[in-house]
Structure 1
Amino acid sequence: MSNPQPLPASLDLALDGGALTAQLVDFPSVSGDEARLADAVEAALRTLPHLTVDRYGNNVVARTDLGRTERVVLAGHLDTVPIADNLPSRVEGDLLYGCGTSDMKAGVAVQLRIAATVPEPNRDLTFVFYDCEEVEAVRNGLGILARERPDWLHGDFAVLLEPSSAAVEGGCQGTMRAVVRIHGQRAHSARSWLGENAIHGAADLLGRLSAYQPRQVVIDGLEYREGLNAVLIEGGVAGNVIPDLCTVTVNFRFAPDRSEAEAAAHVREVLHGYEVEITDSAPGALPGLAHPAAKAFLAATGSEPRAKYGWTDVARFSGLGVPAVNYGPGDPNLAHKREEHCSLAAIAECERRIHAWLTA
Structure 2
Amino acid sequence: MDELADLTETLVSIPSHEDEAAAGDAIEEWLRAETDARVERDDAGNVIARKGATDDPDADALALVGHHDVVPPAERQTTGGGSAGDYVVERRDGRIYGRGAADMKGAVAACMLAFREAEPPAGRELAFASFVGEEVGGEGARHAIDAGFAPDRALVAEGSTDYSKPGVTDVAVAHKGRRASTLVAHGTAAHASEPEAGENAIYRASDAIDVVRGLDAPEATVFGESVTGSLAVTMAHGGETWNVIPERCEVTVDERTVPGDRADLARAEGVAGVEWEVDQDLPPMACGDDAFADAALAVAREVHDELGLDAPERVVKPHATDAGWLAEAGTDCLVCGASEPGEAHTDTESVGIEVLDRCYRIYKGISERPL
TM-score by length of 2: 0.81
The question of 1:225 aligning with 2:228 is answered: yes
Q: After TM superposition, list the pairs within 5 Å mapping 1:265-304 onto structure 2.
A: 266-269=264-267, 271-274=269-272, 275-302=274-301, 303-304=312-313
The answer for the alignment partner of 1:235 in structure 2 is: 238
Contact 1:171/1:287 (<8 A) preserved = yes
Q: Cα deviation per residue 1:67-119 (whole Å; 9 max; x = unaligned)? A: 58532111111122334333342211211112211111111111111122113
Q: Cα deviation per residue 1:275-332 (whole Å; 9 max; x = unaligned)? A: 3232324252432253322220122113312222232111221122002122111224
2:107 is aligned with what amino acid? G
Shift of 1:131: 2.0
The answer for the alignment partner of 2:93 in structure 1 is: 93
* Residue 257 of structure 2, aligned match among 245, 251, 254: 254
Structure 1 residues 45 and 97 mapped into 2: Cα distance closer, same or farther (>3 Å)? Answer: same
Structure 1 residues 15 and 118 mapped into 2: Cα distance closer, same or farther (>3 Å)? Answer: farther
Structure 1 residues 128 and 197 mapped into 2: Cα distance closer, same or farther (>3 Å)? Answer: same
Structure 1 residues 59 and 246 mapped into 2: Cα distance closer, same or farther (>3 Å)? Answer: closer
Distance 2:280 2:69 in 1: 23
The answer for the alignment partner of 1:162 in structure 2 is: 158
Structure 1 residues without counterparts, runs of 5 or longer: 1-13
Counterpart secondary structure, 2:52: coil
2:189 is aligned with what amino acid? R
The question of 1:51 aligning with 2:37 is answered: yes
Counterpart secondary structure, 2:183: strand
Distance 1:101 1:19 in 2: 12
1:75 is aligned with what amino acid? V
2:127 is aligned with what amino acid? T
Q: After TM superposition, list the pairs within 5 Å mapping 1:140-155 onto structure 2.
A: 140-147=139-146, 149-150=147-148, 153-155=149-151
Q: Cα deviation per residue 1:316-351 (whole Å; 9 max; x = unaligned)? A: 211220021221112242222221111111111111
The question of 1:79 aligning with 2:69 is answered: yes
1:314 is aligned with what amino acid? A
Q: Cα deviation per residue 1:22-73 (whole Å; 9 max; x = unaligned)? A: 12222x1323433233222222212355422122143211111335853211
> Which has the higher mean CA deviation after the structures are superposed, 301-310 or 317-326?
301-310
> Which has the higher mean CA deviation after the structures are superposed, 333-342 or 185-194?
185-194
The answer for the alignment partner of 2:50 in structure 1 is: 63
Distance 1:36 1:184 in 2: 50
The question of 1:174 aligning with 2:177 is answered: yes
2:157 is aligned with what amino acid? L
Contact 1:285/1:323 (<8 A) preserved = no
Contact 1:157/1:294 (<8 A) preserved = no
> Which has the higher mean CA deviation after the structures are superposed, 82-91 or 100-109?
82-91
* Residue 5 of structure 2, aligned match among 18, 36, 60: 18
2:154 is aligned with what amino acid? A
Structure 2 residues without counterparts, runs of 5 or longer: 78-86, 162-168, 302-311
Seq. identity, %: 27
- Residues paired across the two proteins, number: 336
Distance 1:197 1:273 in 2: 13
Distance 2:20 2:282 in 1: 27
Distance 2:215 2:353 in 1: 44
The answer for the alignment partner of 1:5 in structure 2 is: none
Counterpart secondary structure, 2:324: helix
Distance 1:124 1:236 in 2: 58
Structure 1 residues 203 and 156 mapped into 2: Cα distance closer, same or farther (>3 Å)? Answer: same
Contact 1:180/1:248 (<8 A) preserved = yes
Structure 1 residues 59 and 295 mapped into 2: Cα distance closer, same or farther (>3 Å)? Answer: same
Distance 1:317 1:238 in 2: 47
